[in-house]
Amino acid sequence: MKQKVAIFRSTLLQISETFIRDQANTLSSWEPILIGRTELNGGLKTPNIKREIVPELGSTLHRLFHFWLQRPETDLVQKLQQLQVSLVHAHFGTDATRIWPSVKAAKLPMLVTLHGQDINIHRKWWEAGHGGLRGKVYPRRLLSMAKDPSVYFIAVSKAIKQKAIEYGIPEEKINVSYIGVDTARFEPGSLPIGQRRKRILFVGRMVEKKAPLAMIRAYAEVRIRIPDIELVMIGTGPLLEDAKQLAKELAVDVEFLGTQSSDEVLAQLHQAQVFCLPSVTAENGDAEGLPIAILEAMSCGIPCIATRHSGNQEAISNNFTGYLIPEKGHVEFVEVLTLILNNPENLYSMSKNARHRATQYFNIQLNSTLLEANYIISTGQNYAQ
């Protein structure tokens, strides 16, 4: 009989969080159960995974009282015990710190996946209250939780592991485990990459760290040199209107598609010649972990141009599967984008190399096997106490 793992995310489930669904679906030795506090209207469907909603009960004052005193939520404790799970796997440190009192009361071990935002944002930003009242104590509670022998961590990249160590989490409690992508589904399209229109694809939230405005500025400059290029941008967020206004000011046509399903992202990848994500470190420290969008593009044989920071350097081999550019390196961005679109022979070789690297290192089947090894380590450590 398979052991059960409760995969926790406070809200089930953002359209952009297909990585949680896909990772859970790929487990072979464990039975996943998604647990959340709220159900997102119109959110991501998970027909093959059992879902449980355990809402926070009581008034706002009652919930804050429990939170500040770090008291377990009886309903959540009872649900975890009723489901007979062997492990709780929480995505994002922010979610993990909020449920830890209940997980501990249920006498269960917990494995926490650190994605980026939850470990990159400066402690002072949280402590100043910019992340809300509960966020003020997040850094302190994360480090306190990390001391418990029943808590272990997964970093989605080597860069995130290093950030977690610098944050104060003991190195021996952190393993690197890439999430990966379904390389059988995200495969090269039928139209050879060199025969496609000169289309650039950007996929990411319209927020500071994804740098959508930098993408549009570079596109506008390259378009002067290559008039027939196109830019498609998938994603929404607070900078969407600014992005539209900038495209209008620069008099360039940009196709803004907003939020799209995974199927639509795949369809767009099959029409693109190059994928770009010129990410930056936000003012509050927020930065990439290892964007799934880059791995999906590589798996489809799309050369990627991305910033030389965080986990991007673990995925992209410079001048082999794509190009790495300096953070805020506008000149370099324009140059490599021009180079790759004007060199069909190099485009073909990079496409082949990107696909090979994705299948070799970022296949979700392989990485889910490594995840299950982390599940065993986490539960074994707990049983040994």
Which spans in the chain are helix H? 18-26, 60-68, 74-83, 93-105, 117-120, 123-127, 138-146, 158-167, 212-225, 240-249, 262-269, 292-299, 312-315, 330-341, 344-361, 364-383
CATH for 193-361 (3.40.50.150, 3.40.50.170, 3.40.50.2000, 3.40.50.300): 3.40.50.2000
Q: Is the pLDDT of residue 56 over 90?
A: no
Mean pLDDT for the stretch of residues 149-164: 97
pLDDT averaged over every residue in the chain: 95
Q: What is the Cα–Cα distance from 322 to 312, expressed in whole angstroms? A: 11
Q: Is the pLDDT of residue 287 over 50?
A: yes
φ/ψ bin of 67: left (φ > 0), alpha (ψ from -120 to 50), beta (otherwise):
alpha
Q: Is the pLDDT of residue 382 over 50?
A: no
Mean pLDDT for the stretch of residues 261-281: 97
Mean pLDDT for the stretch of residues 230-239: 97
- Give Cα separations from 98 to 68, 87, 106, 183 (angstroms): 10, 16, 14, 34
Q: What percent of the chain has pLDDT over 90?
A: 91
- What are the φ/ψ torsions at residue 300 (nearest 5 degrees)? -85, 5
**Domain boundaries along the sequence of the chain:** 3-180+363-383, 193-361
Q: Which of 48-62, 175-189, 208-222, 237-251 has the lowest mean pLDDT?
A: 48-62
Mapped onto helix, strand or coil, the DSSP state of residue 342 is coil
Mean pLDDT for the stretch of residues 56-77: 85
Q: Is the pLDDT of residue 338 over 80?
A: yes
Q: Is the pLDDT of residue 220 over 70?
A: yes
- Whether 3-180+363-383 and 193-361 share one fold: the answer is yes
pLDDT class of 384 with cuts at 50, 70, 90: very low
DSSP 12: E
Residues linked to residue 232 through DSSP beta bridges, in sequence order: 201, 255
pLDDT class of 345 with cuts at 50, 70, 90: confident
Mean pLDDT for the stretch of residues 179-205: 96
pLDDT class of 64 with cuts at 50, 70, 90: confident
User: What pLDDT sits at residue 58?
Assistant: 77
User: What pLDDT sits at residue 385?
Assistant: 36
Sequence-distant (≥ 6) Cβ neighbours of residue 289 within 8 angstroms: 114, 115, 116, 117, 120, 155, 156, 157, 159, 160, 310, 311
What is the model's pTM? 0.94
Q: Is the pLDDT of residue 138 over 70?
A: yes
Looking at domain 3-180+363-383, its CATH class is alpha beta
pLDDT class of 266 with cuts at 50, 70, 90: very high
pLDDT class of 61 with cuts at 50, 70, 90: confident
User: What pLDDT sits at residue 292?
Assistant: 96
Pairing mode, strands 322-325 and 304-307: parallel
